[in-house]
Structure formats: C-alpha cells, structure tokens
Amino acid sequence: MLDFYSASTRMVNSRRAITECLEAAFGDGQGTDCDLLIIYSSMGHDFRALLEQARELAPSARILGASCCGIVGREGVSESMKDVAIMAVRGQAGEIAVAHVDAIGGESSYEQAQTLGRMLKAQNPAIDMVYFLASGIDIANDRCIAGIESELGPEITLFGATSADNMKGVVSFQFVDGEVYEHAAIAVGFADPTLEAVTRATHGFLAVGEPMVVTRSEGSRIIALNGRPAWEEYTDRLGLEASASCGDTIPMGALAEELPDHLKAEYGNDHILRVVTKRTPEGVMHYTADCPEGTRLWLTVRDEDLIFSELNRMMEWISGQGAGRRVAAVFHADCLARGRYLFAKVMKDELVHCLQHPLSSGGEVPPWLGIYGFGEFAKLGGANTYHNYSSSVCALYRR
C-alpha cells in the first residue's frame, strides 16, 4: 500500500528548503528516506543543490520534479521565486514504476510517450494510474496521452502537469534523480489496488468575438491564421505588437477551441483552452496540442463569477465521488495565469481554500502537491485530456 507525505516552504537556501520539507513531511522519528520523491521548485532555486540534498536525505528514492511558477501545498499557496513543494511516497516493491525520456518535442511526442508507456508496462503491467510530468514548451500533449495509452490502455487514469518558468515562456526544467533537463518527460506508474484516482478540471473563461481560422498548420505548429502569419494575426487580435513575447500574451491570450456538445455540460463551458508557449522569428506559433487546419480559435476573457462557481461545482463532484472515503493524497495542477498575474493574492488564497476545504478532514488538508505550470491533465468525458488555464485536481481515494 502506498503512503503519501507532503510539505512546502519558501526557504531561500536550496539545501535547507529540501531538508525542511522532508522533515516536516515525515515528522519526528520517521526518518526522511522514501521510495519516490517529487519536487516542484520555483526558478530562483539552485536545482542541483536541491537534488543533491534530496539524495543525501532520501538515498533510496527515485527523485523527480520540475520547475514552476509557484506551488500549492498543505500549507497554502505561494508564488515567490523561492518556492519548494514535495510529495514523498513510500510503498511496496512493484507499486511504483518510473520512466523518463529526453528530447521530447511536438513532432516526437507520440513516439516518446509510447516509449514511456512501454517502459512502465515492462516494470508492472498492473499499473492503472500514471502521473505525467513533461516539458512545458514545444510539446503536443494530446499526442503524449495517446502514446502512453497505446501501451497501457485508455482505461488508465493519467494526471499531472507540464513544467514552467516564471511566466516568460523561455525555458522550463525537469529533474530526474541528479540530472536537470530542458525537454524531458517523466511518467510514474502506480499499482496500488487500494487506491482510486478521481480527476477533473475547470477554467472559467468565456470565448468572445469572431474566431480565427487555422489556415496552415503542421502537427502542433500553427503557421497561419486567417491566411496571415499566425503570430502576426494573433498579436494583432490581442492589440499587441508582433514583437511581443509569449510571456506578454500568456496572461490575456488564452485561445479557445469549441468542445463537442456532449462534453459542454460536464466541463461547465463550451470551450477548452490552449496556450501558446513558443513562437519562431517567422511567426509560427507552437501550440500545446495538435491543431489541424480548419480549427477555429477564439480569444477569451475571464469571468470571475464563473471561475468560482465552476470550481465549487467541480469540488462538489470530486468530493462526492469519495463517498466518505479517506483521501490518501491530492495532486493539483493549476495554470500560472490564474495566480497573481491575473488575481490579487487574497483572491488566489480564496481559490485554493475552495479547492482544499472539500477534501479536508477535521480541518486537516491531506498530503497535497500543487504546481503552477504551463498545462494540466485530467479526465473529461471519461477520457484522459490535456487542459490549459485550468485548475486540475486528482484525488487519490482509499477504496
């Protein structure tokens, strides 16, 4: 049976930050060694120092993680340059499988994710849930899902996030044991028959105006919109100069694709959102999923009432699925643009309270690992789905 432990801190010293998290997660007398350690760190930390200290304190662990734009832990939310959050896991042999690949990109997403699925399956074919963590820039996340499912089947529950920087859209990092990567993907398979994963996501933005039409694309690369260079058309619609960076567009530039009718009611929205995390000097936009020619893309505006009403509806559904069972752990992925870049801090604290309170017991938040990244994974219509600009929650219930 898998046991989960979490903690977070805003400690400036990188080695001390990991020490504080592990000591707080396990408490007195339990030691700090474990089988799996997941680390989220804001960009201000020395990543190698984090990993070296983690190895000293947890010599038996597979150590994984990513850079981010802030964290959410049992202790609350923080979006500073010195955030660290961890989830530590202890379990029996065979209950945890780990795989990773490097140099994943938009064109190689399916094949690389298929390799991940094959590696996990070879370690334990009974895996029924996969935590996925990948590069947040230049990757086709829908193809990643398809690649993993091609080996493990669509019945698995896939959850996780993509890494981020401090909202510049320049480079993000992934950690595997002692190494730091820029274009890696990590998959952790869990095979614990006492656990059930329940996932859902929501965003709360509304599509506005007339859509732009993708008139030329290759996979996840949008080359032209409405017959014009994609970046030029996109920034013009946003009222920005074509010289704008991705970081300039992320807070206000969510793009919306219309959902099939049968998914709209469940999602609480007619559209699913996408973010642009990279663009070339020629004006080609790197999308976060495949975007075939003919796709219609709307600009969006946030609706704060809708954000809260749909978040509360989502949490009512997730907590209802528990039917009084204990929450073993929560993996939470949130869009960095829903944080202080769009909302005041007090608003963000309220959002996190709405997430954590329904899953708490006796006022105690369960082990909780939350990231502000570039994308989120949760089921929609019973299928593993990639989301942007959303709050995504995976609650692990004891059966």
Tell me if 35 sits within 8 A of 62, measured CB to CB.
Answer: yes
Asked whether residue 182 falls in the same domain as residue 251, the answer is no
Asked whether residue 289 falls in the same domain as residue 319, the answer is no
Cβ atoms < 10 Å from Cβ of 211: 18
Residue at a domain's end among 256, 284, 302: 302
Start-to-end C-alpha separation, the chain: 11
Cβ atoms < 10 Å from Cβ of 367: 22
Q: Which amino acid is at 108?
A: S
Q: Which amino acid is at 116?
A: L
Asked whether residue 196 falls in the same domain as residue 219, the answer is no
Find the helix or strand (DSSP H, E) in which 350 lies: helix 345-356
Asked whether residue 72 falls in the same domain as residue 136, the answer is yes
Residue at a domain's end among 287, 302, 317: 302
Distance in angstroms (rounded) separating the CA atoms of residues 92 and 195: 14
CB contact burial 12-21 (16+ within 10 A = b; e otherwise): eebbebbbbb
Distance in angstroms (rounded) separating the CA atoms of residues 288 and 168: 16
Nearest CA-CA partner of 287 in 277, 295, 296, 297: 277
Asked whether residue 53 falls in the same domain as residue 103, the answer is yes
Distance in angstroms (rounded) separating the CA atoms of residues 48 and 154: 36
> 149-178, pLDDT tens digit by residue?
999 999 999 999 999 998 788 899 999 999
Q: According to the model, what pLDDT value does residue 342 have?
A: 59
Distance in angstroms (rounded) separating the CA atoms of residues 116 and 219: 21
Name every residue whose Cβ is closer than 8 Å to that of residue 377 and which is 6 or more positions away in sequence.
Answer: 132, 141, 145, 158, 159, 160, 161, 199, 333, 384, 385, 386, 387, 392
Q: Which amino acid is at 278?
A: K
Residue at a domain's end among 302, 326, 352: 302
Q: According to the model, what pLDDT value does residue 338 have?
A: 63
Asked whether residue 184 falls in the same domain as residue 136, the answer is yes
Tokens of 204: 């709360």
Tokens of 125: 């074919």
Q: Beta 278-279 vs 228-229: how paired, if at all?
A: unpaired
Asked whether residue 166 falls in the same domain as residue 221, the answer is no
Residue 58 DSSP code: -
> 101-146, pLDDT tens digit by residue?
999 999 999 999 999 999 999 999 999 999 999 999 989 999 999 9
Asked whether residue 47 falls in the same domain as residue 194, the answer is yes
pLDDT < 50 stretches in the chain? 341
Displacement of CA 234 from its chain's centroid (Å): 25
**pTM of the model as a whole:** 0.95
Number of domains in the chain: 2
Asked whether residue 117 falls in the same domain as residue 197, the answer is yes
Q: Which segments of 62-119 are extended strands (E)?
A: 62-68, 71-73, 76-78, 84-90, 96-101
Q: What residue numbers bound the domain in which 88 lies?
A: 3-201+308-398
Q: According to the model, what pLDDT value does residue 343 have?
A: 60
Find the helix or strand (DSSP H, E) in which 90 lies: strand 84-90
Backbone torsions φ then ψ of 178, nearest 5 degrees: -100, 5
Asked whether residue 224 falls in the same domain as residue 359, the answer is no
- Quick one: what percent of the chain has pLDDT higher than 70? 97
Asked whether residue 181 falls in the same domain as residue 220, the answer is no
Asked whether residue 228 falls in the same domain as residue 146, the answer is no
